[in-house]
Amino acid sequence: MQLQERIDLKKADRNELYCLEPPFPRTNFLIETSNACNHKCIFCAYQKMTRKVNMINPETVTRVLQQAYDLGTREVGLYATGEPFLVKELPDYVAKAKEIGYEYVYLTSNGAPATPERIRAVVDAGVDSIKFSINAPERELYEFIHGYDDFDLVMENLKYLNQYRQESGKKYKIFVTGILTRFTEYMKDEFQRVFGNLADEIVFKNVYNQGGYMHEIEGLLKCYSDDESFRRCNLPFDAICVTCEGYLSVENADYENMLVVADLNKVNLKEGWYGENMKRVRQAFIDDKLDGLVCDGCVHHEIRPSSPVMPELAARQSLDFSDSVVADRINKFNPPKLVYVPMVADILHPGHINIIKEAGKYGNVMVGLYSDEAVKTYKKPPTMSYEMRKTILENVKGVSYVVKQNVKDYEPNLRKFKPDFMVHGTDWRTGPLAEVRARAIATMGEWGGEVIEPEYTAGVSSTAIKQKMEN
């Protein structure tokens, strides 16, 4: 199974799992060897974590590895919220898992502490795959997102990871994951260009409120193209996460232990997995009544209050809803301005290219592409479907984002994305879009946005071209 398929299973509709006592997981077993990290990624709750930084007890690792194996688990990842290469015992844990009989042992790292010496140690211990999480394909954006200027160091370590595979003859896999934000979602080709020859597979994931701790992702970091409003989560039914304190948690990104359901220092893994706390969480997911759980904000993409499952083991008793940490970093970075350009683009012609080039002078271009239904409200149905037109525009030089515009009026999308500029040719000053223009100008003015009207490219239009073709 490819890495992308594994990731997709975590939120796929899997009715066979949804019960209070699902089968014990064969895969999806993570041990948080430490919650310490050397980076502060902008989308990660580590930068706000109040939980004490800890290293797991080696005896706990051995005990839970054996208990999970005896229950049928055959794969294990030795990481969760922290950076595994900061743990000096990491090679020992890899070796212990292989000694017990685990078929697949894997790591995820930001790559900066994965020095050649540490790489050799875990590879020689028997690791089956190492994944580098690299969330921007160039240095300046990397520093903004990761919080540290380690891009060149990570590249050197990734190159060595490939070099040692060739030298050692070991068969371990090398993966790269890119967590996409609105600042990088248009850079997939650049990721492939930079890392394509250094990884067996590159997987992209849209940033989301992982674990429910980062509500500010919705308004400040979420990809513009991401219109998900409900996120299915299979973790309570098909994943084991043991924290560095030796607790069983529902979530592998449980930064404050608000989703801990059992203390594995007092009960065994089977008792925790089938215990009443875990069953209560599963029932909440089955009924979609997550009130009070930190999961609620993640699943429903909203800010919702929460409290711990086991207050006595949690570092927090409620969530912090301040977004100042992320907002301050964005303001300091001063990212490119956002420029909104509405289009039908049924037949791409020089007028479209001219408007995109003009818009690109002001910042990153977001095309608000009319849906098929929106087009029909004021002109003939488009020749090409929305998805076909979207595919073309996504491959046009100068276009960073393509988002759907569901109505003739621009106001809903303008309020949703709050662009710094909107660019439209002068042809909308009269005709069916004149009233829409007036509302767009008024709406943009609410946050100091500016409407720019370059001269309409005369002598060419999709309507005229289609008429010629019909004739």
Express as a percent the part of the chain with pLDDT over 70. Answer: 97
What are the strands of the beta sheet with 338-343, ordered from one edge?
399-405, 364-370, 338-343, 421-423, 450-452
335 or 58: which carries more pLDDT confidence?
58
Condensed to tens digits (0 to 9), the pLDDT of residues 84-98 reads 999 999 999 999 999
Question: What does residue 6 show for φ and ψ, rounded to 5 degrees?
Answer: -60, -45
Give SS3 for 205. strand
Let me know the angle formed at the C-alpha of 401 by 400 and 406, rounded to the nearest 5 degrees.
155
- 328-355 mean pLDDT: 92
Condensed to tens digits (0 to 9), the pLDDT of residues 204-258 reads 999 999 889 999 999 999 999 898 899 999 999 999 999 999 999 999 999 999 9
Bridge partners of 399? 365
Q: Which of 401, 372, 376, 373 is nearest to 389 (CA)?
A: 372
Residue 293, pLDDT > 80, answer yes
- The model's pTM is 0.89
Count the residues in the chain. 471
User: Which domains, from first to last, does the chain contain?
Assistant: 3-324 (3.20.20.70), 336-470 (3.40.50.620)
The total of other beta-carbon atoms located within 10 Å of residue 447's CB is: 11
d(CA 343, CA 369): 5
**Which structure tokens are listed for 459?**
């002598």
The total of other beta-carbon atoms located within 10 Å of residue 5's CB is: 10
Condensed to tens digits (0 to 9), the pLDDT of residues 110-145 reads 999 999 999 999 999 999 999 999 999 999 999 999
- pLDDT value for 15: 87
Among the listed ranges 99-103, 165-169, 183-187, 348-352, which one has the minimum average pLDDT value? 348-352
- pLDDT value for 383: 87
Asked if 137 and 187 touch (Cβ cutoff 8 Å), the reply is yes
Q: Which residue has the tokens 């209050």?
A: 305
d(CA 176, CA 199): 6
Residue 11, pLDDT > 80, answer no
Residue 458, pLDDT > 80, answer no
Name the most confidently modeled range: 2-11, 263-272, 331-340.
263-272
What do you get for the CA distance between the two ends of the chain, in Å? 53
pLDDT band, very low/low/confident/very high, at 12 (cuts 50, 70, 90) = confident
Q: Which of 180, 179, 182, 186 is nearest to 220 (CA)?
A: 182
Task: Tell me the average pLDDT of the chain.
Answer: 94
Residues 6+ apart with CB under 8 A from 433: 378, 408, 427
Condensed to tens digits (0 to 9), the pLDDT of residues 13-50 reads 888 899 999 999 999 999 999 999 999 999 999 999 99
d(CA 186, CA 317): 38
- H/E stretch holding 169: none
- pLDDT value for 209: 93
- pLDDT value for 456: 77
- 334-340 mean pLDDT: 93
Q: Which of 8, 36, 402, 441 is nearest to 205 (CA)?
A: 8
Condensed to tens digits (0 to 9), the pLDDT of residues 150-189 reads 999 999 999 999 999 999 999 999 999 999 999 999 999 9
Among the listed ranges 56-60, 86-90, 236-240, 381-385, which one has the minimum average pLDDT value? 381-385
- pLDDT value for 408: 87
Q: Which of 209, 450, 456, 180 is nearest to 338 (CA)?
A: 450
d(CA 156, CA 199): 13
HSE-CB of 333 using CA atoms within 13 angstroms: 21
According to DSSP, the β-strands at 240-242 and 247-249 are antiparallel
Give SS3 for 386. helix
- pLDDT value for 462: 65
pLDDT band, very low/low/confident/very high, at 7 (cuts 50, 70, 90) = confident
Residue 347, pLDDT > 90, answer no
Residue 461, pLDDT > 70, answer no
434 or 462: which carries more pLDDT confidence?
434
pLDDT band, very low/low/confident/very high, at 5 (cuts 50, 70, 90) = confident
